[in-house]
């Protein structure tokens, strides 16, 4: 996403800025984020039920942390776009997210080429 649609995070952060000044935009943005925030724990619960992940923390907290990582990385990439090419950032992010999910890192697993690994 970072490379294929670099304006994505810019748009999100600009919407947040406008929402702070405009109650109508704030309500719409809040509704949109609440839908996504509601769907994420449901998806995580499904992954737990299927044995794909085994998080050690409550799913609502896990969802909030995953969103915080995404939002934080998004802001870093907006302000420092060169970070998108820094493999160490993506490796650290993958390790952190896998740890949060309780998903074992698979030794020797091939990394996804191109943009797919950069979907934050």
| Residue 1 falls inside a structural domain | no
Rounded to 5°, the CA angle 110-65-8 comes to: 70
Inside any domain, residue 97: yes
The percent of residues in the chain predicted with pLDDT above 70, rounded, is 82
Does residue 13 lie in a domain region?
yes
Query: How far apart (Å, rounded) are the C-alpha atoms in residues 45 and 62?
Result: 11
Domain extent at residue 57: 7-118
In a domain, residue 31? The reply is: yes
* Structural domains of the chain, count: 1
Quote the pTM value.
Answer: 0.73
Q: How confident is the model over 69-107, as pLDDT tens digits? A: 998 998 898 889 899 899 999 999 999 999 999 986 554
Digit-coded pLDDT (tens) for 25-80 = 999 999 998 998 889 999 999 999 999 999 999 999 999 999 999 989 988 988 89
């Amino acid at each position: 996403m970072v490379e294929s649609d670099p304006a994505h995070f810019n748009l999100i952060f600009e919407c947040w800025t406008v929402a702070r000044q405009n109650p109508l935009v704030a309500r719409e943005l809040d509704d949109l984020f609440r839908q996504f925030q509601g769907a994420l724990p449901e998806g995580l619960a499904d992954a737990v039920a299927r044995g794909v992940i085994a998080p050690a923390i409550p799913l609502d907290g896990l969802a909030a942390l995953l969103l915080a990582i995404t939002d934080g990385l998004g802001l870093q990439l907006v302000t420092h776009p060169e970070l998108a090419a820094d493999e160490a950032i993506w490796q650290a992010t993958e390790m952190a997210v896998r740890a949060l999910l309780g998903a074992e890192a698979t030794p020797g697993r091939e990394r996804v080429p191109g943009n797919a690994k950069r979907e934050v």
